[in-house]
Amino acid sequence: MFIESDKEVTPAVLAAMENTTDPRFKEIITALVRHLHAFAREVKLTEPEWERGIGYLAELGQRTNDTHNEAILASDAIGLSTLVCLLNNGKDGNTETAAALLGPFWRMKSPVTANGGSIVRSQTPGPALFADIQVKDAKGNPLAGVEVDVWQASPVGKYENQDETQADMNLRGKFTTSADGKISFRSVKPAGYPVPTDGPVGELLRAQKRHPFRPAHVHFLLFKSGFKTLVTQVFVDDDKHLESDAVFGVTKKLVGDFRKREDKAPAADVSGEWYSLNYTFHMEPGEAHLPTPPIK
Amino acid sequence: MFIESDKEVTPAVLAAMENTTDPRFKEIITALVRHLHAFAREVKLTEPEWERGIGYLAELGQRTNDTHNEAILASDAIGLSTLVCLLNNGKDGNTETAAALLGPFWRMKSPVTANGGSIVRSQTPGPALFADIQVKDAKGNPLAGVEVDVWQASPVGKYENQDETQADMNLRGKFTTSADGKISFRSVKPAGYPVPTDGPVGELLRAQKRHPFRPAHVHFLLFKSGFKTLVTQVFVDDDKHLESDAVFGVTKKLVGDFRKREDKAPAADVSGEWYSLNYTFHMEPGEAHLPTPPIK
């Protein structure tokens, strides 16, 4: 087919893709072509703008490596990651526990830790946090034997692999729910932090006068055969960026009850103020699978 | 704003982008967000599919370097580059000469060559080609003093910087139109070639059962102050891939009259078969600018 004008480009491309073998891939790529072409037409993208866009796209990949994924960050910063997450979890957003972004900091092989143990693996100043987590199925029955990965930033907003002062795997742990579907652990209250702003995503945020902060949160990944793997985050309820998360990750259901306590803490070495967190997750029936770790 | 369901994601993202300083950038990025979100909703993109897509995106950047631009190639392979080109050139596709893709092989500083000279700079087997190119303004008046960059693949389908057997800058030249708006040069008849298929774009083409070939062509870049820089290609009319160019670059207007000749050639050392090309370009009034070279 010869192309005679801009109006003939999209039909020509879709015709060329007609023989795509995999039907789902065909559905996805032809929809992407239609929507990207509609975007270019709507804004009448100029050649210099296209050139700038291609350069931006290439930089996302060039900035992605074993310890940082700028492409995921870009998807996060335009709300695409959260949209995909919410399209695939909960029943029209109405189940009691929603999923959330995996984020760029999950690592495989967190240290296996006994229920009630601590994930503070090197000296980490900040208020103590004692978490009691209940896991249930969709009907509300406690779920035993769920593997729960926990990871979080420190009280100064750094993950261990961003911070030389923390031991390897500090503030990370892998737990298994007890017969009554519970895990509990000791940690420290996490702080919020800015997403990396030295790359193209930082450039985007500055151009849009958006701050780069994520509200403080604890990440959870819940895995049990026969259930859809639940990747989620629970947010600290006193954080000032709860309603302006740079990556659109906060739903109301994910705001945790991080309660400031001054009564007797569950550990003898804690004096004065500490925090408790009680939270309940519901897992839906489905296929268990582990995501590809965003960093090695 | 808290996000309560997938339906609230797009409004939340658009609201966060409300303070974007540059109005044109705001128009572009908010349109891109709307169209990408609409795409994800339409196909109900799953988390593993999103993950695969992000990996693909990152690979486009990681495969882009000083000598190859996989991101441009991907844009070409889904027809986006041609669409942008046709949206910005010609009056609704009705002017006599359309623009075409810059492609990934343009280099700055082609050797300045006298009118009538040869761009064959090292022994390059294949049929001789003698080109006579006329450049006119939109009203049909000859345009003198136009700088014309010419570059092309060899008769085995390789650009000089892909092929050790060719001298630096072989089959590249920079000409200036004479008082009657003409350039002429000697070359060899180019062959078609496959786009690089060792990266993500090759993977796409294989999944879609598309061949990777571009029909044979000669590239032109026409530059003159006061006129919109014209980037284009003229295709060899006997190529079997004219109607199935892997990157959708062929319009009928760009198919050249590469005439097989057996009469006396314009050079004494040519015996037997040779080719002539006569082609007329029209330049529109506008701003002259040089594109960023895709390779250094």
Round to the nearest angstrom and report the end-to-end CA distance of chain A.
46
The DSSP line for B142-193 is B--S-EEEEEE--TTS--GGG-TTSPTTTTEEEEE--TTSEEEEEEE----E
Q: Do B47 and A88 touch (CB under 8 A)?
A: yes
Q: Do residue B51 and residue A292 have CB atoms under 8 angstroms apart? A: yes
Q: State yes or no: pLDDT of A103 exceeds 90.
A: no
Cα dihedral: B243, B245, B250, B254 (round 10): -90
- Residue-wise pLDDT tens digits, B188-207: 999 999 999 999 999 999 99
Q: Is A21 on the interface with B (CB under 8 A)?
A: yes
* Interchain proximity B243–A58, CB inside 8 Å: no
- CATH, residue B168: 2.60.130.10
Q: Within 13 Å of residue A262, how many CA atoms lie on the same side as its CB?
A: 0
Residue at B153 is within a domain: yes
* pLDDT, tens digit (0-9, with 9 covering 90-100), for B118-135: 999 999 999 999 999 999
Q: Are strands B128-137 and B274-283 parallel, antiparallel or unpaired?
A: parallel
Residue of B nearest to A68 (CA): B58
Mark yes or no for CB contact A243/B1 under 8 Å. Answer: yes
Q: How far is A153 from chain B (nearest CA, A)?
A: 22
Inter-chain contact A47–B88, Cβ cutoff 8 Å?
Answer: yes
Give the separation between CA B126 and CA B2, rounded to whole angstroms.
Answer: 67
The number of C-beta contacts closer than 8 angstroms across A and B is 253
pLDDT at position A68: 84
Task: Round to whole Å and give the CA distance between A119 and A170.
Answer: 6
Does residue B22 lie in a domain region?
no
Q: What is the rounded CA–CA span in Å between residue B236 and residue B168?
A: 24
Chain mean position to CA B215? 12
Give me the count of residues in chain B: 296
Per the CB < 8 A criterion, the answer to whether A213 and A194 are in contact is yes
**Cα(A214)–Cα(A195) distance, integer angstroms:** 7
Nearest CA to CA, how far is B241 from chain A (Å)?
A: 10
Tell me the helix, strand and coil percentages in chain B, rounded to 5.
25, 25, 50
pLDDT above 70: residue A102: yes
Q: Is residue A137 part of a domain?
A: yes
Which of A49, A51, A85 has the CB atom closest to B291's CB atom?
Answer: A51
Q: List the domain range (segments joined by +) for residue A277.
A: 92-283
Query: Per 3-state DSSP, what percentage of chain A is helix, strand, and coil (rounded to 5)?
Result: 25, 25, 50
Q: What is the ipTM of this complex?
A: 0.90
A258 touches A242 (CB < 8 A): no
* Type of residue found at A177: T
Which one of B35, B36, B61 has the shortest CB-CB distance to A59? B61
Any CB–CB contact under 8 A between B91 and chain A? no
Q: Tell me whether residues B57 and A54 touch, CB distance under 8 A.
A: no
Amino acid at A238: D
Query: Per the domain annotation, does B34 fall within a domain?
Result: no
Look at residue B94 in the predicted model and tell me its pLDDT.
47
Which residues does chain B have within 8 Å of residue A289's beta carbon, measured at their own beta carbons? Answer: 48
Checking DSSP bridges between strand A255-261 and strand A230-236, what pairing results, if any? parallel
Residue B222 lies in a domain: yes
Give the bridge partners for B117, in sequence order: none
Shortest distance, CA B144 to any CA of chain A (angstroms): 26
Nearest to A228 by CA among A284, A160, A169: A284
CB contact under 8 A, B83 and A37: yes
Q: Comparing A108-112, A144-148, A275-279, B130-134, which segment has the lowest mean pLDDT?
A: A108-112
d(CA A167, CA B30): 42
| Cβ within 8 Å, pair A292-B252 | no
**A243–B2 C-beta distance less than 8 A:** yes
Tokens of A112: 């296996």
Structure confidence by residue, pLDDT tens digits, A131-160: 999 999 989 999 999 999 999 999 999 999
Does the beta carbon of B22 lie under 8 angstroms from any beta carbon of chain A?
A: yes
Please check the confidence at residue A94 and state whether its pLDDT lies above 70. Answer: no
Length of chain A counted residue by residue: 296
Question: Which one-letter DSSP state was computed for residue B285?
Answer: B
Does the residue A26 lie in any domain?
no
Using CA atoms, how far residue B212 sits from A16, A30, A193, B153, B267, in Å, is: 12, 18, 46, 16, 36
Residue B160 lies in a domain: yes
Average pLDDT for A177-196: 97
B263 or B2: which leads in pLDDT? B263
| A269 occurs within a structural domain | yes
Inter-chain touch A13–B72, beta carbons under 8 Å: no
Q: Is B90 exposed, middle or buried (0-12, 13-18, 19+ CB in 10 A)?
A: buried
CB proximity under 8 Å: A 193-252 to B: 204, 207-210, 242-244, 248, 250-252
Task: Give pLDDT, residue A93.
Answer: 46
Report chain A residues whose CB lies below 8 A from the CB of B240: none
> Residue A84: pLDDT band by 50, 70, 90 thresholds?
very high
Cα(B258)–Cα(A212) distance, integer angstroms: 57
pLDDT-wise least confident of A93-102, A234-243, B19-28, B34-43: A93-102
- Residue-by-residue DSSP string for B60-128: HHHT-BTTB-HHHHHHHHTTHHHHHHHHSSTTTT-SSS------S---SSPPB--TT-B---S---S-E
Q: Do A48 and B289 touch (CB under 8 A)?
A: yes
Nearest residue in chain A measured CA to CA from B58: A61
The pLDDT score that the predictor gives to residue B105 is 86
Q: Is the pLDDT of residue B101 over 90?
A: no
Minimal Cα distance from A57: which residue of B?
B61
| Structural domains counted in chain A | 1
- Confidence check: pLDDT of B290 > 90: no
Which residues of chain A have a CB within 8 Å of the CB of B87?
A: 6, 40-41, 44-45
